[in-house]
């Protein structure tokens, strides 16, 4: 098959015998935003990181447009990674580089090393970077150092960096968890709008169930390394939340 | 009524202090350091100082030649040391390299640091002959040891989150170093390099004494000929040069912050 992402029989155990992910099977085809919700420590981050291989799966397949990413090494792995953008909880910008340099680092998988070193990026990349800066609402910040920005601004740069890759898939690992409630909504809005405009499917780990229901067309609930709910937000009922998070007192 | 104890008595500490004092007295006696000896020494010192004054700058051309050679040794050794220690420290950083690379790299750095640079200079004089080459080689080894060790430690303290993000874009190994690692440590690296240039300048005035080039050779020859007024001129010039270097490097460091 081709088109989209398929996960088959994915398992991960950091310590042998104590799996964090148990036999995950998922299909993502086409566009749209998918939220993964679940309690802390249930393997949401591990699942996302297994897709771009920041974490090595113990077993299973991750198929992107029909190609299995799990056995890839070296150059082949880098070529696969550059098609997958990632947004991080703590932004993970290179603090001492300028905003523009952080954006252009999204092209590192494409441009030759000497160009990256001398900052001689193709004009096309620079134009795109400026366009994305405008799109995320930071048109005047190209030459500022990343550590001079606020949390919300940094995450906007993080989103723009991921989109610089022209990704076939966008992963977001708790992109709003370090932000205040209002900024969290703004960032979520921006992320889903830009991804929609560029037809990039998004998989987002998120703690905030309300945000997930508001912005995502599909919700996957995880509990103890397994999927316990998979469906559109309107089907997500209180009993599902009990299944995902356990107990009822918190609701 | 017994008195309550407000402070714990420290018998070990007192015993150690008394033992140390006794040993100092014993060592002084053993080495024949007595008031009489000190008095003789002070008299000799006064005569020596008298012969040093006024400093004699008549042979200023020899002096300048030696100073320039020392400066060249220091700059060359620093440049070489910096160029070599950059890759060396990347290999030695345990968060970037697997243990079977970082282990040998760390061992090599430790080897560079284990011998005093004067001993290294003597070795190089014996190996490659008298002159500036030996001095440059000796101070290069010293610079490698210093910069590579401190820089490897700086690299081990970087945030791996930033590195992970660059890696996630599909960047190759060198691109990850350029964008994820070096920006985090560049300013500290420059700081180490300036400090090392400073101390190489100081050290390059000494390696000449063992025949490895520079003003030290001139100084040693002047000592041997009892030209104490020329010695004074050399010492004053060295102090002036080092002082100037301190001022300049302090300026640079300030500008970097």
pLDDT tens-digit profile, chain B (257 residues): 677 888 888 888 899 999 999 999 999 888 888 888 888 889 888 888 888 888 888 888 888 888 898 899 999 999 999 999 999 999 999 998 899 999 999 999 999 989 888 898 889 989 988 888 988 999 999 999 999 999 999 999 999 999 999 999 999 899 999 999 999 999 888 888 888 988 898 888 888 888 888 888 888 888 888 888 888 998 999 899 889 988 988 888 888 76
Q: Which residues of B74-108 are buried (b: 16+ CB within 10 A; e: fewer)?
A: bebbbbbbbebbeebbbbbbbebbeeeebeebbeb
Considering only CB atoms, B166 lies closest to which of A52, A108, A158, namely A108
Burial class (CB in 10 A: 0-12, 13-18, 19+), A228: middle
Query: What domain range includes position A67?
Result: 5-245
Flag whether pLDDT at A3 surpasses 60.
no
| Boundaries of every domain in chain B | 11-51, 60-256
Flag whether pLDDT at A251 surpasses 70.
no
* Domain contains A250: no
Is B165's CB within 8 Å of A93's CB?
yes
Is A106's CB within 8 Å of B168's CB?
no
Measured in degrees and rounded to the nearest 5, phi and psi for residue A36 equal -110, 120
Sign, Cα dihedral of A14, A20, A26, A30 = negative
The pLDDT of residue B150 is 93
3-state secondary structure chain B: CCCCCCCCCCHHHHHHHHHHHHHHHHHHHHCCCCHHHHHHHHHHHHHHHHHHCCCCCCCHHHHHHHHHHHHHHHHHHHHHHHHHHHHHHHHHCCCCCCHHHHHHHHHHHHHHHHCCHHHHHHHHHHHHCCCHHHHHHHHHHHHHHHHHHHHHHHHHCCCHHHHHHHHHCCCCHHHHHHHHHHHHHHHHHHHHHHHHHHHHHHHHCCHHHHCCCCHHHHHHHHHHCCCHHHHHHHHHHHHHHHHHHHHHHHHHHHHHC
Compute the half-sphere exposure of residue A6: CA atoms within 13 Å on the CB side of its CA. Answer: 11
CA distance B148 to chain A (A): 22
Say how far residue A65 (Cα) sits from the centre of its chain. Answer: 17
Q: Are A33 and A193 in contact (CB under 8 A)?
A: no
The pLDDT of residue A1 is 37
List the structure tokens of B67.
């100073």
Measured in degrees and rounded to the nearest 5, phi and psi for residue A9 equal 55, 35
Domain count for chain A, please give it: 1
Measured in degrees and rounded to the nearest 5, phi and psi for residue B206 equal -100, -35
Q: Which residue of A has its CA nearest to B180?
A: A94
* Domain contains A251: no
Is B161's CB within 8 Å of A96's CB?
no
Using a CB–CB cut-off of 8 Å, the residues of B that contact A are: 159, 161-162, 164-172, 174-176, 178-180, 183-184, 186-187
Kindly list the residues from chain A whose CB atom is less than 8 angstroms away from the CB atom of residue B180. Answer: 94
* Domain contains A22: yes
Residue keyed to tokens 């060198």: B174
Kindly list the residues from chain B whose CB atom is less than 8 angstroms away from the CB atom of residue A98. Answer: none
Considering only CB atoms, A92 lies closest to which of B165, B176, B184, namely B165
CA distance A100 to chain B (A): 12
Confidence grade of residue A238 (pLDDT, cut at 50, 70, 90): confident
Q: Using CA atoms, how far apart are residues B20 and B44, in angstroms rounded to an integer?
A: 31
Q: Using CA atoms, how far apart are residues B207 and B73, in angstroms rounded to an integer?
A: 10
Domain B60-256 belongs to what architecture?
Orthogonal Bundle (1.10)
CA distance A206 to chain B (A): 19
């Amino acid at each position: 098959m081709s088109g989209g992402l398929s996960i088959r029989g994915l398992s991960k155990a950091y310590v042998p015998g104590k799996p964090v992910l148990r036999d995950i099977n998922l299909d993502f085809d086409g566009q749209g935003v998918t939220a993964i919700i679940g309690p802390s420590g249930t393997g949401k981050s591990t699942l996302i990181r297994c897709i771009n291989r920041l974490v090595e799966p113990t077993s299973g397949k991750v198929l992107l447009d029909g190609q299995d990413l799990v056995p890839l090494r070296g150059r082949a792995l880098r070529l696969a990674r550059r098609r997958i953008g990632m947004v991080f909880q703590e932004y993970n910008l290179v603090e001492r580089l300028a905003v523009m340099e952080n954006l252009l680092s999204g092209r590192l998988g494409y441009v030759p090393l000497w160009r990256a070193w001398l900052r001689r990026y193709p004009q096309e990349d620079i134009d795109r970077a400026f366009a994305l800066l405008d799109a995320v609402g930071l048109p005047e910040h190209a030459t500022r150092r990343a550590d001079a920005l606020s949390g919300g601004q940094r995450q906007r740069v993080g989103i723009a960096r991921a989109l610089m890759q022209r990704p076939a898939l966008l992963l977001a690992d708790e992109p709003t968890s370090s932000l205040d409630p209002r900024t969290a909504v703004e960032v979520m809005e921006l992320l889903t709008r830009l991804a929609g405009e560029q037809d990039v499917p998004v998989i987002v780990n998120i703690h905030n169930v309300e945000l997930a229901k508001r912005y995502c067309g599909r919700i996957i609930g995880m509990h103890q390394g397994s999927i316990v709910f998979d469906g559109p937000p309107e089907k997500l009922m209180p009993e599902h939340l009990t299944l995902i998070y356990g107990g009822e007192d918190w609701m | 009524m017994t008195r309550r104890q407000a402070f714990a008595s420290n018998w070990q500490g007192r015993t150690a202090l008394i033992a140390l004092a006794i040993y100092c007295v014993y060592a002084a006696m053993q080495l024949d350091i007595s008031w009489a000896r000190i008095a003789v020494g002070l008299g000799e010192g006064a005569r020596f100082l008298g012969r040093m004054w006024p400093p004699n700058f008549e042979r200023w051309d020899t002096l300048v030649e030696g100073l320039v050679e020392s400066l060249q040794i220091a700059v060359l050794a620093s440049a070489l040391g910096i160029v070599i220690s950059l890759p060396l420290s990347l290999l030695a950083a345990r968060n970037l390299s697997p243990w079977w690379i970082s282990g040998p790299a760390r061992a090599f750095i430790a080897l560079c640091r284990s011998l005093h640079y004067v001993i290294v200079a003597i070795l190089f004089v014996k190996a490659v002959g008298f002159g500036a080459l030996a001095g440059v080689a000796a101070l290069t080894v010293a610079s490698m040891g210093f910069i590579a060790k401190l820089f490897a430690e700086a690299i081990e303290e970087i945030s791996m989150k930033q590195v992970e993000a660059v890696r996630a874009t599909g960047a190759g190994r060198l691109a990850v170093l350029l964008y994820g690692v070096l920006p985090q440590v560049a300013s500290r690296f420059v700081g180490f390099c300036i400090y090392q240039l400073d101390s190489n300048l100081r050290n390059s005035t000494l390696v000449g004494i063992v025949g490895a080039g520079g003003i030290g050779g001139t100084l040693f020859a002047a000592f041997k000929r009892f030209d104490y007024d020329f010695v004074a001129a050399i010492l004053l010039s060295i102090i002036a040069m080092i002082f100037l270097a301190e001022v300049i490097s302090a300026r640079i460091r300030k500008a970097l912050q």
